[in-house]
Structure 1
Amino acid sequence: MCAAVDTHLTDPTPAIGAEPDTAQRLVVVGDVLLDRDITGTANRLSPEAPVPILSGAQTAHRPGGAGLAAVLAAREPGWRVTLVCGIGQDEPGAQLRALLDETGVEVIDLATSGTTPVKTRVRAADRTLLRFDTDTDLVPLGPLPDPVRTRLAEAAAVLVCDYGRGITSHDELRQALASAAADRPLVWDPHPKGTAPVPGTTLAVPNTDEALHFSGHPGPRDLAGDTARAVQLLAAWPVKQVAVTRGRDGAVLVADADGHPLAIPARRAAGDTCGAGDQLAVTTAVTLAAGRLPSHAMAVAVEAATGYVEAGGPASLTAPPAPGRTDPLELTARVRARGGKVVGAGGCFDLLHAGHLSLLEQARRLGDALIVCINSDTSVRRLKGEDRPVVGERERAALLAALDSVIVVGEDTPERVLAELRPDLWVKGGDYSGRRIAEADLVENWGGEVVTVPFLEGHSTTTRIHHVAQQADAR
């Protein structure tokens, strides 16, 4: 599977009050630290003690805690990220700030002094052999500056990543967060050494250990036990809903103590899980900001966290896309290198239905890899009208992600993408039969072929939308 979206990192955040585009604001509040990974090869034991010898070690640094959540959020297309935190005034703190600046995250630092905690992992063969943390006192925090209130007022969503180092006990900040929660989604990721969520929190997302700590419920660490803990926390905390995240088992969401819990299973994924909870929390916040229900947001977030682990966890922040998974050009080259045939198909794919699936299944059978180009939301509006699309480009891409690769394109016809991919076959539905397809000349320039496949009668997105509208009017 390869699900590639034509997006890029957001530009560095401009000065407060100067927003030149329509990007939405996400405010991340939480404790930060510096993460250090020492990675090498361990293929023999020391003669001095039964411990592995690490050779060829390399060291990498990255923001940790709420800093990692902010970096992950900055990779979301269409979002500007502000991180409210406390960074120690020392060398690790300076390094942490520089790393955050590189990703375009705006930092509002509440610290007045102090040292920055550092978490070091020694790793080999994708496994952690040893972890050691620096012991530091809590960073002293000053009064809440006005820019924090400004950014919270602008925010489309707020995410609190509590790592138990004191920022969520800041009285002025808690009051500002409670005010922000009144009219925008606020997601709270708690910590056993931290505080309870502020009143009005949309969704709290403790993991099993955190839920056990806060609820005191001693039940088994299974679905029933986590559900019971979520019910207790829903009653104890001033939050609207609670989702207990369950690692490789997904999550369980409780919205009403008397209702049925929503169990959200996860696909099995092997890899470095460091930061998976942050990815889940970030995805939950931005999905809620899009107007989705918490049930939908949690389902999307569990899948995003799984994908993050599959991609290598924190290593994916600096590593190039994995071959054949996220880069359609790489997939195309790999298929051609082994003598395979690349098939392309395109369309809006709004309200995915059986007709679309018929087209894509037939197209996939014509070659060895299928790359689907879907029109962006802006392009669909130009082609279909201002009331379209019904389903946004991110969700349409996700629905098609089980195919080999998906690209979102801004053009009405994907000439630029086709020129890069040069598919051997370009496939359209049979409703195009009898007329020349706009991009045919381009495809034929490199020896490619344009074909149509049988159209499944009675399945049209426009017809379906009209039918639904008529039913609504009849009511």
Structure 2
Amino acid sequence: MSAPAPLLVVGDALLDHDLCGRAERLAPDAPVPVVSDGRRTSRPGGAALAACLAARDGRPVTLVTALGDDESSACLAGLLADRVRLVRLPLSGALSSKTRVFAEGRPLLRLDDGDGRTRAATDEAWKALEGAGAVLVADYGRGAADVLREALTATAARAPVVWDPHPRGGPPVPGVRLATPSAAEARSFAGRLADGPAAGDPNPLHGAARDADALVRAWRAASVAVTLGGRGALLSHGGTPLLMPSPVTAQGDACGAGDRFAATAAGRLADGVLTETAVRDAVQAATRYVAEGGVRALWTEDGPPAGPAGDDAAGLVDRVRAAGGTVVAAGGCFDLLHAGHVALLEAARRAGDCLVVCVNSDASVRRRKGDGRPLVPLADRVRVLAALECVDAVAVFDEDTPERLLGELRPHIWAKGGDYAASRLPEAALVESWGGQVVLFPYLDGRSTTGIARRAASGPRPARPLTGRRRG
């Protein structure tokens, strides 16, 4: 497989802070929570976050953005060092930053500072655009896209440009390959075209399709993908729209999900794929991004991103737990994966922010089920489980029961099918020892590996003879 293609990101960088602590009492002088033991982290935001996410995919990234001489600009430049190539534009005022305050993982407050705007383009920025094979414009309404509008128009005529718009920014330049507004942004932009608020629609898909169609024509864009949060994205080329649904319903911190979507779409277009493929991959990437804890799971206390998505189960669990998320685990042999298994895993995934499947090794299955099992070897069982969109990681245990593995992962929820009784689970006491909970989920009746194997071994049922009157 060839290496990911380079990407140029143009837009307004921000500096983001998270202050995470505990809130156990109210202030004596006002009915507001007191946040104690706060831990502060800083990370790139806006176009800088989009650039870092694209770089995390393994592609070379150049970021064209405005930075000044203020403290926030210096901090952001340090965070970006060795991650992206930086082309600086002049900034008037202080770099914009935002601080989110969390207690026990729940947001309480957001503070915004800085009103800096891009002053002018530079020759270096023009040259970067002239040589770019693909461009992502992350417009946060602070002037970077405005000062380079002429150059971006020329670039869109010869190379794929993805434009992630902002209500405070201008429209995309003509000829962009893909624009990626959210549903609310698309409605706002469409309302401006009509000289008033866009009409509401009880069917959100119908409204998104109508708005996307209007924006394709007004912006002279090749396509518009309206992002729909947990529903996925609706892609329009100006005709019948194509819905790219989310593979699973991901619950968690959605901050930066739009940047993840746009960065993936732009990168895949840079790789030469079709727009439909790029949008499908972007939906999957954004869903996984939210499911794994969002931006707080990517950035550690010292600044650098964690390891790439899809690493081992322990790494995933650590990231989700650090972000205040809920870890769910489920276990079993999963020999001949069937509809009952899938229903359980999908339900379990919806109960938290990540799902780790603990699967018996071949030797463990033989001890539990007999010499004829497993029917499917471990490597194949792991591969099939990992391919399910509701499964975030798979871990293998060789013992008869998963206590050792559970003790390492320490999930918040241990999911089992409703055909079990809690009293029959030897691992229940262990899970409860660290404050975890065993949760039973409804099980589809009539589905079992043993039953499927028995029916397969008995061969096909003989066809019943036709009875009744003969047609003539």
Correspondence for 1:209? 184
Does the 8 A contact of 1:311 with 1:322 survive in 2? no
Does the 8 A contact of 1:370 with 1:404 survive in 2? no
Correspondence for 1:250? 232
**Residue type matched to 2:122 in 1?**
L
Matches within 5 A, 1:167-182: 167-170=144-147, 173-182=148-157
Q: State how many pairs are aligned.
A: 342
**Residue type matched to 2:132 in 1?**
A
Moved more, 29-38 or 127-136: 127-136
**Residue type matched to 1:327 in 2?**
D
Deviation at 1:207, TM superposition (A): 0.7
Q: Secondary structure at the match of 1:44?
A: strand
Moved more, 131-140 or 264-273: 131-140
Measured in 2, the distance between the counterparts of 1:169 and 1:339 equals 51
Deviation at 1:369, TM superposition (A): 9.2
TM-score normalised according to structure 2 size: 0.65
Correspondence for 1:431? none
Deviation at 1:238, TM superposition (A): 1.9
Correspondence for 1:184? 159
- The change in CA–CA distance for 1:339 and 1:179 in structure 2 (over 3 A counts) is closer
Deviation at 1:137, TM superposition (A): 4.2
Correspondence for 2:138? 161
- The change in CA–CA distance for 1:52 and 1:365 in structure 2 (over 3 A counts) is farther
Q: Secondary structure at the match of 1:195?
A: coil
Correspondence for 1:88? 68
Correspondence for 1:232? 214
Correspondence for 2:15? 34
Measured in 1, the distance between the counterparts of 2:289 and 2:70 equals 31
Measured in 2, the distance between the counterparts of 1:324 and 1:25 equals 20
Does the 8 A contact of 2:212 with 2:224 survive in 1? yes
Q: Secondary structure at the match of 2:81?
A: helix
Matches within 5 A, 1:293-442: 293-319=274-300, 326-327=311-312, 341-342=360-361, 365-367=376-378, 370-372=381-383
Measured in 1, the distance between the counterparts of 2:280 and 2:308 equals 26
Measured in 2, the distance between the counterparts of 1:138 and 1:252 equals 32
- The change in CA–CA distance for 1:239 and 1:281 in structure 2 (over 3 A counts) is same
- The change in CA–CA distance for 1:175 and 1:330 in structure 2 (over 3 A counts) is closer
Q: Secondary structure at the match of 1:200?
A: coil
Correspondence for 2:127? 150
**Residue type matched to 2:164 in 1?**
D
Does the 8 A contact of 2:227 with 2:234 survive in 1? yes
Measured in 2, the distance between the counterparts of 1:31 and 1:287 equals 22
Does the 8 A contact of 1:371 with 1:405 survive in 2? no
Measured in 2, the distance between the counterparts of 1:47 and 1:369 equals 60
TM-score normalised according to structure 1 size: 0.64
Give per-residue Cα distances to partners, 1:167-195, cap 9 Å, x unaligned: 1111xx22221222223211000011101
Give per-residue Cα distances to partners, 1:88-131, cap 9 Å, x unaligned: 220111001110114x2111111154311111110123221000
Moved more, 205-214 or 65-74: 205-214
- The change in CA–CA distance for 1:41 and 1:322 in structure 2 (over 3 A counts) is farther
- Unmatched tracts of structure 1, length 5 or more: 1-6, 8-20, 345-361, 374-396, 407-420, 425-475
**Residue type matched to 2:68 in 1?**
G
Within the alignment, does 1:196 sit opposite 2:171 as a pair? yes
**Residue type matched to 1:99 in 2?**
L
Give per-residue Cα distances to partners, 1:421-449, cap 9 Å, x unaligned: 9999xxxxxxxxxxxxxxxxxxxxxxxxx
Deviation at 1:287, TM superposition (A): 1.4
**Residue type matched to 1:241 in 2?**
S
Which one has the largest radius of gyration?
Answer: 2
Does the 8 A contact of 2:51 with 2:61 survive in 1? yes
Within the alignment, does 1:131 sit opposite 2:120 as a pair? no
**Residue type matched to 2:66 in 1?**
G
Q: Secondary structure at the match of 1:298?
A: helix
**Aligned mate of 2:266, from 271, 285, 290:** 285
Correspondence for 1:114? 93
Measured in 1, the distance between the counterparts of 2:67 and 2:210 equals 37
Measured in 1, the distance between the counterparts of 2:38 and 2:393 equals 35
- The change in CA–CA distance for 1:112 and 1:278 in structure 2 (over 3 A counts) is closer
**Residue type matched to 2:229 in 1?**
G
Measured in 1, the distance between the counterparts of 2:251 and 2:307 equals 15
- The change in CA–CA distance for 1:46 and 1:368 in structure 2 (over 3 A counts) is farther
- The change in CA–CA distance for 1:50 and 1:282 in structure 2 (over 3 A counts) is same
Deviation at 1:318, TM superposition (A): 2.5
Q: Secondary structure at the match of 2:90?
A: coil
- The change in CA–CA distance for 1:323 and 1:126 in structure 2 (over 3 A counts) is farther
Within the alignment, does 1:54 sit opposite 2:59 as a pair? no
Measured in 1, the distance between the counterparts of 2:86 and 2:55 equals 12
**Residue type matched to 2:280 in 1?**
A
Does the 8 A contact of 1:62 with 1:99 survive in 2? yes
Correspondence for 2:438? none
- The change in CA–CA distance for 1:56 and 1:169 in structure 2 (over 3 A counts) is same
Moved more, 213-222 or 244-253: 213-222
Correspondence for 1:66? 47
